[in-house]
Structures are given as structure tokens and as C-alpha cells.
Amino acid sequence: MNPTNSVFAVKRLIGRRYSDTSVQNDIKHWPFKVVAGPKDRPKIVVNYRGVQKQFYTEEISSMVLVKMKEVAETYLGCIVKNAVITVPAYFNDSQRQATKNAGAIAGLNVMRIMDEPTAAAIAYGFDKITEDSKEKGVLIFDLGGGTFDVSLLSVVHGKFVVRATTGDTHLGGEDFDDRLVDHCVKEFKKKYNKDITGNAKSLRRLRTACERAKRMLSSSVGTSIDVDYLYDGVDFSTRISRARFEELNKELFTRCTNLIEKCLSDAKIDKTGVDVVVLVGGSTRIPKVQQLVQDFFKGKELCKGIHPDEAVAYGAAIHAANLNGQGDKEVQNLVLVDVTPLSLGVDTMDANVMFVVVPRNTPIPTKKQEGLITLYDNQTSMSLPIYEGENANTKHNNLLGQFTIDGIDPAPKGVGKVDVCFDIDADGILTVSAQVRSSGHKKHIVISKQNGDLTTEEIETMVEEAARYKAEDEKHKGRISLEDLAEKLKSMAMDSGRSASEMKSMEEKAENAIAWLETNHDAGINEINKQLKELRSTFPALCEE
């Protein structure tokens, strides 16, 4: 494996700024290179066929989506155009839009960006629609590889209402791996006085061993971490107990239970209001995580009946069928009521102070209005930057857009009044309008999730590049397939059980195919496939062996 060319954890980069503290901390643990692009957007540096290339996170994510699209098309036997893509519930607008852009680059029409815990709740509750008429409080505990969400929903008769959601987009299995890697790096330095932090290959190999050990500790109380020739010819071997692993990650586990408390507090219910606790995400296999959640709910039996790695995809598929008008009556009668995961507001004082108009966990659709006053004498206009986030200082929140309302009559400060209205529809499209009370002058801006760092032109360029990369990959695979088949026939030609003429014919055809490859480097996929077809048709029985 080439560690500097093996990209992972893109979910932790998408929609973020390169200068974000979390991004800078993550870069220290990654073997691949991340650099700052235009507008402080992170770009990933890879070597593509001998040439150094830089890709936006949306482009990397789109490559995964293209692969999933191909898998679905192969299984279904038809072209796939529409998709429902799930994201962590605590993703902000920028992260959601970047994910949607990735879908567009992959050639998909993204019908809906759906919260992962909501999808998991559907996976849990869908087959129980007709079983129980009583409303249930369902808590989804979703701890994955890189993110963590807690959502509380009420579920009854196919209606799924999100009561509260919270989370941490920087908490998951990768953090547990980081703690284990750091522990081993320190131990290696202590034993051999050698620092491997600057060696990407050594770190990648160590991380792989630590990931394996973490999984083993879910079923064993202890395991070993062994890496031959880890660094400078030195082997590394150490024992790690489950107790030590839990101690290394104690603070991270505590953050998980603190967020359960926060979710219940936001929903204004106590633990007794939770009927079902559903575990989702690969990291919920960790015994300590299960124990802490069960202890938090006073020994309540945890729901492990749905596959932690598949639940979100299953729920998203049901919702996709609902949106597409497919499926049975239960699917079509499905109702989802979501919430705003983050507070929405404005900074009217130009002093980095967040004035919340729509508090987090407000059910959508919703419409909220607040009155604002002028801040200085003879003020005739008001700037309205729109933010989302929970910090009182807007510097630490996410700027969605801004506009200026004018037409305010000159008057002493505090006399001029402007009504600002936040209107969010069921698709999460936010329209912010402002109206001057005295003159009736009105202005608005739409935050439609079509706004984002990437322009339409940039997305179109990326779509074209993605198609080009796909064509190059298909061509590369085709050349390998033709070469492999030719070499296979050459090997078979040596079989003494064949006649001399058959052996000669096979060898000639194989040599001709190899010679064709050597002299036709620029041949397209159609030409390559033609050569493959001819070679297979000449020896159909042999090609099946």
C-alpha cells in the first residue's frame, strides 16, 4: 500500500476550512498530504499516474459515490440517476452542501440530504409500524468511524418526528485509533529512542495494526500489536489490554454520554421517556461504549437487532422509495418531521454577537420573526449577516449569507425598526426577509443549499474531469484485462496436452495481443474491448477455464 496515496476520513474535511483547528489536528495523523486551496478550502494531494494532482474533498467523495452508483447499476441492471445521501445530523450547511455537490459531480440527482440517525430510526421502526399503536421515544446512538450523533425521535404509525438532535462531527472510531497510535509511538520512542512521527509509511502500517487490535478488543480482553520492520529495521511488538484501551479513550467515551444528556435536555425529557435505545455505527461494537450507554439508562436493554453498519443505508433506501413514489402503502404513508440541528440568527450590531432567531431543534417547516432596532442616529440601512451555530461569538459560527436592507427613515437610534423573518421549508431551504416597519420596504435572501463554495462552473468542470478519470480508469483496466488474458493463453499454450497447431495458434494470438498493446498506448476503451472480444471469441472454451 502507498500510504501517501491512500486517502481516507474525507468526511472530516468536507465542507470545512483548511485553517480549522480540527483539520490541522487531523493532518498530523494522516499519511496523505492536505494543502490549502482557494478560499481556504482543503485540497488533497495525490500522485495520479506519475503526475501530482490536487483534488477538492468533494471530488474524492464523488469517486466513492461513482463506485456506489456502479455497484447499484450492476445489481439492478439499469441506469441510476437519483439518490438520497445521508450525513451526520450535526453537519452544518456548508458540509451538507459540499456533500450535495459531491453527488452532482458523481452524476447523481440528489433528491434529499438525510440525517443518518433519522435513517437509522426508519430502519428500526419501519417493520413495527403495524405492531404497536403507542407512541415510542426512540433514541438513536450513532457512533461511526469519524462522527457521532444522538437523536431522539417519537415514532408512531409510520410517523417519525425528531424531537432533538446533537452530536460531534469530530468523534468516532478514527479518534480511538489515534489514541492507540499515539500510545504506540510513545512506547516505540521510549524503547528504541526513535521517532516515527515523520515517516508516513511507518505510521500507516502502525495505524493498520492498531485498527486491527481495536477490533480484536471487542471480543478479547487483550491482544498484541505487531509490526515487522516498523522503522529503521526495528520490529515493534506490544501487548494492549482492553482496560488500557478504555483508559486511553476514557475522555472520548465520556463525551459520548455527555451528548446523550444534552440531547435529552434539549428534548425536555428524562431517561424514563426513552422506550428504545438503538445502537448504530461500527464503533458501537466496542464493549465499553455499550456498557456506558446501558449504565446511563439504568440497565435498559439496548437494541442491537439492526445491523450497525447497514441500518442507515436501509432507512435511506426506504425514504428514497417514499420520495420516488414507489413501494407499498406503508412506504408511501411514511412521514418525517425533522429539526434544525443548529441555531440560526443574525449579527445586527456588527460586533460578532449572535442574535438567535430560530433555536436549534426547532421542527421544520417553521417560520420565526423578530423585531430589530437601529443602533445609531439617522441610520438608513441595516446589514444582516446570517449565521448558524451555537457560539455567542459569530466568529466561531458558520456564515450562510448576508444582505442589506435600506429605506429606513432617518431618526434617533432605537426609533427605526426592522422585522426580520426566517422561513424554513420541509427541504431545509431557508428564506430570510427583512421589512422596514415605517416604509414597508422589503428585501430577502434565499439560502437554498444551492449556495456553496463551489460555483456552477467549477462543479461542471469537476463533472467533466470525473468522466475523464473514469474513462482513463476503464482504459487502464481494459489494458490489464487484455494483457492478463494474453499471458494466460501463452501459459496454456505450454500445456503438453494440446496439439502442436493449437499451441502455435494460441501463442501467436497472445503475442499479437501483447504487441498490439505495446504499439497502441493511446488506444481507447472501445478498441481495447474489440481486441479482448476477438481474443475471447477465438478461444471461447479456454477463456472460461
CATH number of 456-543: 1.20.1270.10
Q: Quick one: average pLDDT of 380-408? A: 90
**pLDDT single digits (tens) 92-137:** 888 988 999 999 999 999 999 999 999 999 998 887 765 666 888 9
Per-residue confidence (pLDDT) for residue 179, from 0 to 100: 96
pLDDT averaged over every residue in the chain: 89
Work out the angle at residue 439's Cα, subtended by the Cα atoms of residues 437 and 442, and round it to the nearest 5 degrees.
75
How much of the chain exceeds pLDDT 70, in percent? Answer: 95
CATH of domain 344-447: 2.60.34.10
The residue ranking higher by pLDDT, 478 or 241, is 241
* The three three-digit cell numbers of residue 492, written as one number: 496454456
pLDDT digits (tens, 9 = 90+) for 73-97: 999 999 999 999 999 998 888 898 8
376 vs 503, more confident: 376
Specify the amino acid at residue 1. Answer: M
DSSP 409: P
pLDDT the model gives residue 450: 47
Helices 200-216, 173-192: axis angle to 10 degrees equals 120
Question: How far apart, in whole angstroms, are the C-alpha atoms of residue 68 and residue 165?
Answer: 28
Highest mean pLDDT pick, 15-29, 280-294, 374-388, 527-541: 280-294
Average pLDDT on 180-199 reads 95
Element holding 540 (H helix, E strand): helix 540-543
Task: Provide the pLDDT for residue 238.
Answer: 96
> Taking 60 as the threshold, does the pLDDT of residue 449 lie above it?
no
Q: Over range 473-488, report the average pLDDT.
A: 84
Question: Whole-model pTM?
Answer: 0.80
The more confident residue out of 244 and 480 is 244
Per-domain boundaries in the chain: 3-113, 173-250, 344-447, 456-543
Residue 265, pLDDT > 60, answer: yes
Q: How confident is the model at residue 453 (pLDDT cuts 50, 70, 90)?
A: low
Q: Which three cell numbers stand for residue 417?
A: 425598526
Per-residue model confidence (pLDDT) at position 49 = 80
Strand ranges for 70-192 from DSSP E: 82-87, 109-115, 136-143, 148-156, 159-168
Residues 6 or more apart in contact with residue 436 via CB below 8 angstroms: 405, 407, 408, 409, 416, 417, 418, 442
> What fold, for 3-113?
Nucleotidyltransferase; domain 5 (3.30.420)
List the CATH code of the domain at 173-250: 3.90.640.10
Q: How many residues does the chain have?
A: 545
β-pair partners for 227: 236
Domains 344-447 and 456-543 equal at CATH topology level: no
**Average pLDDT score over residue span 527-533:** 85
* Cβ-defined contacts of 288-292 (< 8 Å, 24+): 288/242, 288/246, 288/249, 288/253, 289/143, 289/253, 289/256, 292/253, 292/256, 292/257
Q: Which residue has the higher pLDDT, 486 or 60?
A: 60
Binned at pLDDT 50, 70 and 90, residue 343 comes out as very high
